Structure 1
């Protein structure tokens, strides 16, 4: 009998343990709980804390009403005032735009005739405290004491939902301000029309970084509008519609109700009807249901990579980074599949989803390679969006924003993104057309490419930022050459292969740096490798010779040979990290941040450099430096990013590096191995397959790699391929702290 009782006790205990394991498993699966959208809103991260959907078109988030470099997203953690909640935001850029369709609830009297020169003139602004803020994927809320209301925000793909909980019964009002703008942006045409007792439509056409941005919007309230006041600039308009360049409105609701007021806001770059149709994406007034759907969608996105570790802080940094990589490129087509093209015309996508916000100078390095793993199903959408840009303008995008080419930054880096997809076998786009487009970018006669074709290099006396442009074009040309070879276009292969070697023209063996060379073949003098000048009159883009001389990702062995072989290369690379961090010059680029010596992790040109030790036979130096960068340049606080997030690139570096790999050449399909942070990483690679990365004995001190195996086979070249990952398997790192043994 005792045996029987004990047997049942064991069964019950086992069931309880099973329940505990199941509950624990569910807790671990709640990956959104590790995301903190406030990370990056301080310092120079330039991120926003508001609600969003993965790659969503709408991002309802607070605006401080302050312009300036650190308010490029409309919000900075150092601020204490909110002027409203706009529906579009850029994540981590160095230039401010968007922040369109500002909405603000209040119980205060509003005077629309009052001139507003700055935020101090806004009747509807409110102070706020971070203690009253909450943010999570797909959700944001804050209490505004001056306006006596708690604001909660969530969204679907194209439609935002606001919820306003007022303190008491009284004059409940909602302000709509189309004049509000930040930084470069300014409205040139605005419209507001009362469509019926609960629906408002309008247009905000603006000029800024995006030279021709058009945003049609539709607002629908959960209650009937009891009264309204419209104004153009400082004059009231006695009508149900208003148009001009600074349209505003105040909408009043029943004062005897204490019910929660809700609002849906949908967008379209093409038409009013497209925005109205998008309101249907949210078919309920149940805020919690909409929030839950958004967070479930985010959970599904984040669960494509599951990390196991007892280090909760690092998991917060990792999953926030993964979250940040999936805010852009944003969906751009409306509910009808229409969008405003770069040619100013309305187009309809055909068989793909049109996207915008291509920060390619940044994201070609790691963010887009990451998408080929985590979001392979959307890569063809991104590429078809770029090919549509080519159809509409004759060239691939450089830095595309809301149906505009900004031509910001250097290179033609849509090329490596497309070439990477071609060689990884990603389908869903026309490869021959893609080649036509990448070749057109390589043969353009603007942005210094004309000089590259004429001289074989870009002369510093003829083109600004000549060294950076030359180096980046050389890599892009290598990408074109490889594609030409794959497609049997051998004449192009020979031509672009020669141009890919143009980086050698700029290497000075005496100084061991890439330098500005004049049209007559002489070096530009004087020369100081620490010298930086921001953009105008520069040889280097947002950096100096120390940071840019290493950008030859397509021919690292050739760069090593130029620098005198492995030993000389390593010595010079050591000097980069050990040099003092003084940057010389009178107009130093503010983007040079996150310094370790002269290495600048806060800006993208440095991101591959720590992995170059692998190529010179010193992998433990890569492991040591990569771990130092992860530990010192990323944190789980608002100032946890060492530079601009730049639409996912800063975070993509961490996601890759924390897993133990990085794409030094982001179009090669090869990943270079570093020092993983987590005990185990499981990547879902499709078809019920998983790629598992284990780091045995990993710890703060055990950061060096003793041995690596891929599916039981030893890895000695510290590289794996994309194919290795996507077919599933096991990558096992054996970690150690015995550096002396590795050196021997």
Structure 2
């Protein structure tokens, strides 16, 4: 998952490995602690975006090295391919696709140097080698080669300790840098004494106003301090020098708070106080050991054991505690709140984690799940809405859906209700009844038109699932009207299904976005293409299977998903990784798909694919996670799948059986019960289930119920090397099915040009069933549609479908007639994913809106626009205007200059004028520039050339890449 910088190209990073890293695969003894099987370096290479430093389970502090200052693969602050460490900061994000944190950097060195060395000038950064680096839960250690300083880190929940061992007789300097990484809004360094420093750092990054306060306490007095004053006169850096005659070791204890400096000091003194480094480390390791004991496994494969316990560790890093020891925390209104009845958390990557991480917590973290939900409800109270991706008391505006809703519904339906249930339900409905992010259209039409909102297909599909979870909770609470409404909305996924191609497609002016390529990554989908979203209706898989033509055709389509070419077309999307065909395990929309074979009576195919994914997409190596780890979701998929089952539909209380990876797995439940999974005769070849039993009785169905796990018991699989007939009967397969309050899908235009010359034939269709279709032209009375009709003039078409007494919404489409004498010749090629409506997009009379992702603009990547308009005959032309879009955050820049020529014969052109635009000037605004030319002569041909900026300017996020031109509507008057 990542924030939508849509035109970002793929960055290729090759991780490398050191002997010390591979030592994790050496054979351990059975008496080894579970923390010895955790390898925090997994995910620090490739695109995993994890960090190796010290943190506590769901803790507030993440004390870790910073080896990278920016870039997509530097989101956690560390990448395994790096050679230099800039220092050690106290907050980090695990597996995200956007950078933030890295607060309050400390760096031991032997000279007073305030430059970090990133510009290759002498700096305080230091070279390091992985052979001198060690990480384990709650502890990190590295030797800085350049200075021969050994660094050790350990933590409590809100505080941590650095231990620096300097070479004998060397200078002992500790740099404090508050300008590290993010834009600093405000910062301060205060010297309370020669052993205590305090202050704050308020910064802007992904969280636009993050407030952090700190308290530092040195183990011995510094003898001298020197401040660095920046160009604004601010003292945001300090160098503390210590007397080497007093020993070669300095420890720094650090407390942090989002509330105030007093809170930071109180956190430090309450949690750490006078404890030694070894005591703090031992406590962290004891707590982590207890956490990891929540699930135990038995296997002879030590690498798989390391992968499993590292995955379990990664699921326990986020969400993060965000509250001081006295119960104070900073809310989404950025005010300080006090609570004594729950612990407040932040960093909810809900688009990712609602799928498997939160369902895992409902099994092994029931109490903490209540705290998570209370935190989400507090954010609703303070900020006005349930968050989508909250970070450090900020709404980030990242990702889609309202996936706090299924997290709450899943917990409620599983009996986890230690919060205000009525308040939670009202907050869920509140999220679903907004008018923003496409919801206004979604509620009105039953889908989101592509021209109204970007990522319209993905949003329609995910809103429909979220709505189903509201419906299920409403049903359980006896709210019949809400149950009806949200059950109807849960079926809106059908309205973006195209029966002709059997794919989910964008509805663009009520036609299908064209030309259509299911491999194309474009603005209709979120971090995906049509392959990767066309199997997403987990709430009504029976309905989806019927739409696709039944089980056999659905199975064939699934087969094609996994065997399709692995290349995507359209825009580059760095998140689409881990490809098996077009199944992309490195990103969340694909995570449920391999389990769908169970729903068509083919569990053996699920078993094959799940085993393939587990053994090819996860490794005991730095690049051992195939995509962004995403705050536990990639790891939660593995935890569930390795045990043999997965929550395809959270809030259904069912888990779909795949294939176990280990001889034995045991979930040690919080109430003392145990749920055991035993796989007899399991091996690399014996991946198929021959038979199964639950608590000594035959289990012939390919799914489990939540209560069967929570009541404890024993699930036994007998494994074989050949597909079997186990759980292949209709009575033995899982189903998710909507059978009540069925909707009539909205008609679409299956043929017909919305902007046409001369005439266009219009055919109407529906996705499901055979309802009657009615239409109206130019506000005439509706009449029954029974055959195609032809339009030869501009018209407004309204249409709806009806079956019995049920009607679909009325959909309106404006048809535009292009002057038949007018034509356009494009000498340069536009990108199909930004085609604006096709070859005539620049003369069709339809103007682009501010959001380029709604599909009304025509995009040109790294090429100039060259277009010639033929008026059909010589005419008096007074003015020519052309519109361009600027959205520099998405790599869309105005052209550097625009030239207009005119001609009578189409061969000899006279330049009208050239207008220069300062396109490289940095801008955060989305703007439209209209360039006008005064022609005032008789001409037949008008030529426009817009010069592309080309290389993105230095300082831009995409520096090194190429710019886009987005253009729409050449108007000649």
TM-score of the superposed pair, with normalisation by structure 1: 0.92
What is the rounded CA distance, in whole Å, between the counterparts of 1:141 and 1:167 in structure 2? 16
The answer on 1:38 being equivalent to 2:23 is: no
- Aligned counterparts, 1:691-706, within 5 A: 691-706=675-690
Cα deviations across residues 255-307 of structure 1 (Å, max 9, x unaligned)?
21334210111110011111010112113352111111101100000001010
Taking a change above 3 Å as real, the CA distance of residues 437 and 26 of structure 1, as seen in their structure-2 partners, is farther
Question: Does the 8 Å contact 2:446/2:492 carry over to 1?
Answer: yes
The match for 1:144 is 144
The answer on 1:162 being equivalent to 2:165 is: no
Cα deviations across residues 607-632 of structure 1 (Å, max 9, x unaligned)?
00000000010000000000000011
The match for 2:532 is 547
Question: Does the 8 Å contact 1:61/1:86 carry over to 2?
Answer: yes
Shift of 1:121: 4.0
The match for 2:134 is 134
The match for 2:186 is 189
The match for 1:212 is 209
What is the rounded CA distance, in whole Å, between the counterparts of 1:712 and 1:727 in structure 2? 15
Between 163-172 and 227-236, the greater mean CA deviation after superposition: 227-236
Question: Does the 8 Å contact 1:398/1:408 carry over to 2?
Answer: yes
The match for 2:222 is 225
The answer on 1:71 being equivalent to 2:74 is: yes
The answer on 1:331 being equivalent to 2:328 is: no
The answer on 1:82 being equivalent to 2:85 is: yes
Identify which of 587, 611, 621 aligns with 2:605: 621
Shift of 1:179: 0.4
Identify which of 57, 61, 74 aligns with 1:58: 61
The match for 1:735 is 719
Which consecutive unaligned segments of at least 5 residues does structure 2 have?
Answer: 1-26, 730-973
The match for 2:449 is 459
Question: Does the 8 Å contact 1:318/1:655 carry over to 2?
Answer: yes
The answer on 1:656 being equivalent to 2:645 is: no
The answer on 1:344 being equivalent to 2:338 is: no
Which consecutive unaligned segments of at least 5 residues does structure 1 have?
Answer: 1-23, 237-243
The answer on 1:673 being equivalent to 2:671 is: no
What is the rounded CA distance, in whole Å, between the counterparts of 2:68 and 2:95 in structure 1? 17
Question: Does the 8 Å contact 2:196/2:216 carry over to 1?
Answer: yes
Question: Does the 8 Å contact 1:189/1:205 carry over to 2?
Answer: yes
Shift of 1:721: 1.3
Question: Does the 8 Å contact 1:514/1:545 carry over to 2?
Answer: yes
What is the rounded CA distance, in whole Å, between the counterparts of 1:710 and 1:393 in structure 2? 46
What is the rounded CA distance, in whole Å, between the counterparts of 2:122 and 2:405 in structure 1? 46
Identify which of 516, 524, 542 aligns with 1:557: 542
Cα deviations across residues 176-213 of structure 1 (Å, max 9, x unaligned)?
000011xxx31111111001221100111001100110
Shift of 1:741: 6.3
Question: Considering only CA atoms, is the larger Rg found in Structure 1 or Structure 2?
Answer: 2
- Aligned counterparts, 1:408-447, within 5 A: 408-447=398-437
Shift of 1:28: 4.0
SS in 2 for 1:646: coil
The match for 1:368 is 358
- Aligned counterparts, 1:571-582, within 5 A: 571-582=556-567
What is the rounded CA distance, in whole Å, between the counterparts of 1:107 and 1:431 in structure 2? 57
The match for 1:241 is none
The answer on 1:386 being equivalent to 2:376 is: yes
Question: Does the 8 Å contact 2:520/2:569 carry over to 1?
Answer: yes
What is the rounded CA distance, in whole Å, between the counterparts of 2:632 and 2:376 in structure 1? 18
Between 498-507 and 680-689, the greater mean CA deviation after superposition: 680-689
Question: Does the 8 Å contact 1:65/1:119 carry over to 2?
Answer: no
SS in 1 for 2:596: helix
What is the rounded CA distance, in whole Å, between the counterparts of 1:708 and 1:111 in structure 2? 66
Higher RCO (C-alpha 8 Å, min separation 6): 1
The answer on 1:202 being equivalent to 2:199 is: yes
Identify which of 265, 272, 275 aligns with 2:254: 265
What is the rounded CA distance, in whole Å, between the counterparts of 2:91 and 2:49 in structure 1? 14
The match for 2:287 is 297
Shift of 1:66: 3.1
What is the rounded CA distance, in whole Å, between the counterparts of 1:25 and 1:80 in structure 2? 30
The match for 1:256 is 245
Question: Does the 8 Å contact 1:107/1:148 carry over to 2?
Answer: no
SS in 2 for 1:476: helix
The match for 2:584 is 600
Alpha carbon RMSD of aligned pairs, Å?
A: 1.6
What is the rounded CA distance, in whole Å, between the counterparts of 2:579 and 2:277 in structure 1? 44
SS in 2 for 1:203: strand
What is the rounded CA distance, in whole Å, between the counterparts of 2:68 and 2:76 in structure 1? 11
Shift of 1:235: 8.2
Question: Does the 8 Å contact 1:119/1:125 carry over to 2?
Answer: no
Taking a change above 3 Å as real, the CA distance of residues 302 and 119 of structure 1, as seen in their structure-2 partners, is farther
Shift of 1:122: 5.9
Question: Does the 8 Å contact 1:221/1:261 carry over to 2?
Answer: yes
The match for 1:4 is none
The match for 1:173 is 173
The match for 1:92 is 95
Question: Does the 8 Å contact 2:55/2:156 carry over to 1?
Answer: yes
Question: Does the 8 Å contact 2:227/2:239 carry over to 1?
Answer: yes
The match for 2:943 is none
Taking a change above 3 Å as real, the CA distance of residues 47 and 223 of structure 1, as seen in their structure-2 partners, is same
What is the rounded CA distance, in whole Å, between the counterparts of 2:183 and 2:119 in structure 1? 15
Question: Does the 8 Å contact 1:134/1:141 carry over to 2?
Answer: yes
SS in 2 for 1:133: strand
What is the rounded CA distance, in whole Å, between the counterparts of 2:686 and 2:185 in structure 1? 58
What is the rounded CA distance, in whole Å, between the counterparts of 2:672 and 2:412 in structure 1? 23
What is the rounded CA distance, in whole Å, between the counterparts of 1:151 and 1:255 in structure 2? 17
Shift of 1:419: 0.4
What is the rounded CA distance, in whole Å, between the counterparts of 1:83 and 1:111 in structure 2? 12
Question: Does the 8 Å contact 1:218/1:275 carry over to 2?
Answer: yes
Cα deviations across residues 522-557 of structure 1 (Å, max 9, x unaligned)?
212111100013xxxx00100100001111111111
The size of the alignment, in residue pairs, is 701
Identify which of 479, 482, 491 aligns with 1:489: 479
Question: Does the 8 Å contact 2:688/2:724 carry over to 1?
Answer: no
The match for 1:18 is none
- Aligned counterparts, 1:508-587, within 5 A: 508-519=498-509, 521-533=510-522, 538-585=523-570, 587=571
SS in 1 for 2:557: helix
Shift of 1:117: 8.3
Question: Does the 8 Å contact 1:471/1:551 carry over to 2?
Answer: yes
Q: Which has the higher strand share?
A: 2
What is the rounded CA distance, in whole Å, between the counterparts of 2:447 and 2:198 in structure 1? 53
Shift of 1:669: 1.5
What is the rounded CA distance, in whole Å, between the counterparts of 2:217 and 2:86 in structure 1? 21
Shift of 1:456: 1.2
Q: Which has the higher helix share?
A: 1
The answer on 1:404 being equivalent to 2:407 is: no
What is the rounded CA distance, in whole Å, between the counterparts of 2:84 and 2:301 in structure 1? 35
Question: Does the 8 Å contact 2:564/2:582 carry over to 1?
Answer: yes
Cα deviations across residues 656-678 of structure 1 (Å, max 9, x unaligned)?
00000100001222111010011
What is the rounded CA distance, in whole Å, between the counterparts of 1:322 and 1:609 in structure 2? 22
The answer on 1:353 being equivalent to 2:343 is: yes
Cα deviations across residues 294-340 of structure 1 (Å, max 9, x unaligned)?
01100000001010111111100000000000000000001221122
Between 332-341 and 637-646, the greater mean CA deviation after superposition: 332-341
Shift of 1:41: 0.3
Taking a change above 3 Å as real, the CA distance of residues 305 and 416 of structure 1, as seen in their structure-2 partners, is same
What is the rounded CA distance, in whole Å, between the counterparts of 2:263 and 2:410 in structure 1? 34
